[in-house]
Amino acid sequence: MTTEQLLLSIDPLDLKFTLELNKSISTFFQLINKTDNHVAFKVKTTNPRKYTVRPNSGIVLPRSRSNVTVTMQPQMELPPDMQCKDKFLVQSVIVDPGSTPKDINPDMFNKPGGNDVEECKLKVIYVSPPRKPSPVPEDSEEGTSPTASDTDLQEHSEPQDNSVKARDLILRLMEERDSILRQNAKLNRDLVFFVSKHDYQTSFDSKKVQPAKDR
Q: What is the three-class DSSP state of 8?
A: strand
The CA-CA-CA angle for residues 138, 141, 145, to 5°, reads 105
pLDDT-based confidence at 170, cuts 50/70/90? confident
43-52, 100-109, 158-167: least confident range: 158-167
Q: What percentage of the chain reaches a pLDDT higher than 90? A: 49
Segment 67-77, tens digit of pLDDT: 999 999 999 98
Q: Say if CB 104 and CB 58 are below 8 A apart.
A: yes
- Note the pLDDT of residue 5: 55
Q: How confident is the model at residue 186 (pLDDT cuts 50, 70, 90)?
A: confident
CB neighbourhood size of 126 (10 A): 19
Reduced to 3 states (helix: H, G, I; strand: E, B; else coil), residue 179 is helix
**Alpha-carbon radius of gyration of the chain:** 45
Mean pLDDT over residues 124-137, rounded?
79
Give the strand order in the sheet containing 14-18: 14-18, 118-127, 87-95, 38-45, 57-60
Note the pLDDT of residue 190.
81
What separation in angstroms does the CA of 98 have from each of 38, 95, 101, 117, 177?
Answer: 8, 9, 10, 19, 94
Question: What is each CA distance from 7 to 39, 61, 91, 105, 121, in whole angstroms?
Answer: 7, 11, 10, 18, 14
Say if residue 215's pLDDT is above 60.
Answer: no
Q: Which of 18, 9, 5 lies closest to 122 in space, CA to CA?
A: 9
In terms of residues, how long is the chain? 215
pLDDT at 2 over 50: no
> What local confidence, expressed as pLDDT, does residue 207 receive?
59
Q: Output the pLDDT for position 95.
A: 96
Spatial CA neighbour of 6 closest among 88, 116, 113: 116
What pLDDT digit, counting tens, does each position of 10-21 carry? 999 999 999 989
Residue 201 has pLDDT above 80, yes or no: no
43 or 131: which carries more pLDDT confidence?
43
Distance from CA of residue 103 to its chain's centroid?
Answer: 45
The model scores a pTM over 0.95? no
At position 9, the amino acid (one-letter code) is S
Q: What is the pLDDT of residue 148?
A: 47
In 3D space, the residue among 14, 104, 115, 28 whose CA is nearest the CA of residue 60 turns out to be 104
Spatial separation of the C-alpha atoms in residues 187 and 64, rounded to whole Å: 98
